[in-house]
């Protein structure tokens, strides 16, 4: 595994306070508790970089991390957690939508889904939203470690079948590190590509 340097740049709760776009950016989005922060930590190989929690709805702001002084990884607040008040969910939605639509430096969004649950309506909406705004998506099915072999094959097939044409699909686990190299490869392709 490659090692990476990572530095927390900013945490933003107000769309007016987004940091100025700089290096190419790749964001991680997905339902609350799906494992976005864990994935970020695994990608850079630092456990405590992004805060992980058993309580859904933990990441309430957009967190920016500078990686290897050449790209920015972005931890987005999760969606779809019913116990978060509607008012707060609306605020996050606005925050994420402002970010996704207005961000020149954004090269791709990793849409993280639970491999056991595959793509749910909320995820589908996000994928459609990204497509409508010309933002490339990388679909990652995570927590693969929680499935036995037979279940995994079936879940993987169904995940691939549910992904929009053209989007890359990766199966991974932040616990075991499986699929992390493939995910890096997909991220790097988008970092190099011009939008
Ligand atoms: P919010 O910020 O609340 O939206 O959550 P998040 O998507 O950032 O999830 P987080 O990384 O905080 O992880 C949520 C829970 O899932 C934690 O208990 C993690 O340890 C667990 N988890 C994350 N990734 C994996 C994985 O690949 N495998 C397993 N078994 N557990 C995982
Ligand atoms: Mg989080």
CA atoms of 143 and 184, how far apart (whole Å): 17
- Is it the case that residue 82 has pLDDT exceeding 70? yes
**What would the two tokens of residue 117 be?**
């649950």
Helix and strand numbers, DSSP H then E, in the chain:
5, 7
User: Which residues lie closer than 8 Å to 67 by C-beta, 6 or more apart?
Assistant: 4, 5, 6, 44, 73
Pocket test for ligand 1, best of 11, 48, 50, 52 (most atoms within 8 A of CB): 52
**Residues enclosing ligand 1, CB less than 6 A?**
30, 32-38, 52-54, 56-59, 78, 142-143, 145-146, 173-175
Residue whose CA is at the smallest distance from ligand 1 atom 13: 35
* Res 145: pLDDT: 98
Mutate to test the pocket of ligand 1, among 11, 13, 37, 38 (most ligand atoms within 8 A of CB): 38
Going by alpha carbons, the residue nearest to atom 14 of ligand 1 is 33
Per-residue pLDDT band at 85 (split at 50, 70, 90)? confident
pLDDT of residue 104: 93
* Residue 21: strand pairing partners: none
Mean pLDDT of 37-54: 90
Angle at 154 between CA 75 and CA 45, to 5 degrees: 30
Mean pLDDT across 21-49: 94
pLDDT at residue 131 greater than cutoff 70: yes
Q: How far is the CA of 53 from the centre of ligand 2 (A)?
A: 7
- What average pLDDT does range 80-84 have in this prediction? 77
In this model, does residue 176 exceed pLDDT 80?
Answer: yes
Cα 129 from Cα 144, distance rounded (Å): 26
* pLDDT, position 54: 76
Pick the atom of ligand 1 nearest to 40's CA: 11
Ligand 1 centroid from CA 134, angstroms: 28
Task: Report the 10 Å Cβ neighbour count for 53.
Answer: 12
The residue ranking higher by pLDDT, 93 or 189, is: 189
Residue 1 has pLDDT above 70, yes or no: no
Distances (CA, A) of 193 to 76, 86, 105: 22, 37, 11
Tell me, yes or no, if the pTM score tops 0.85: yes
> Sorting pLDDT into bands at 50, 70 and 90, what band is 58?
low
Would you place residue 50 in the very low, low, confident or very high pLDDT band (cuts 50, 70, 90)?
confident
User: Cα of 184 to ligand 1 centre, how many Å?
Assistant: 19
What's the whole-number mean pLDDT along residues 82-90?
Answer: 80
Spatial distance between the Cα atoms of 108 and 158, rounded to a whole number of angstroms: 23
Please return the burial class of 97, using the count of CB atoms within 10 Å of its CB with bins 0-12, 13-18 and 19+: middle
Strand partners, 63: 11, 75
> What letter would DSSP give residue 79?
B
pLDDT for 35: 95
CATH 3.40.50.300 assigned to domain 6-192? The reply is yes
Q: Per-residue pLDDT averaged across 85-111, rounded?
A: 90
Question: What span, in angstroms and rounded, lies between the C-alpha atoms of 97 and 147?
Answer: 33
Ligand that comes closest to the CA of residue 112:
1
């Amino acid at each position: 595994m490659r090692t990476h340097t990572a530095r927390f740049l900013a945490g933003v709760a107000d769309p007016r306070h987004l940091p100025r776009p700089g290096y190419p950016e790749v964001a991680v989005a997905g339902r609350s508790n799906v494992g976005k922060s864990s994935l970020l930590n695994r990608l850079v190989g630092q456990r405590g970089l992004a805060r992980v929690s058993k309580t859904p709805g933990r990441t309430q702001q957009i967190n920016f991390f500078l990686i290897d002084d050449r790209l920015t990884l972005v931890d987005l607040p999760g969606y779809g957690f019913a116990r978060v008040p509607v008012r707060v969910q609306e605020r996050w939605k606005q925050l994420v939508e402002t970010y996704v639509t207005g961000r020149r430096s954004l090269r791709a969004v990793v849409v993280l889904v639970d491999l056991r649950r595959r793509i749910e309506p909320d995820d589908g909406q996000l994928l459609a939203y990204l497509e409508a705004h010309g933002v490339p998506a990388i679909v990652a099915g995570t927590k693969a470690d929680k499935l036995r072999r037979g279940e995994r094959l079936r879940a993987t097939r169904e995940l691939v079948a549910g992904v929009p044409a053209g989007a890359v699909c990766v199966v991974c686990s932040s616990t075991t590190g499986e699929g992390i190299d493939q995910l890096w490869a997909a991220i790097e392709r988008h970092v190099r590509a011009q939008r």
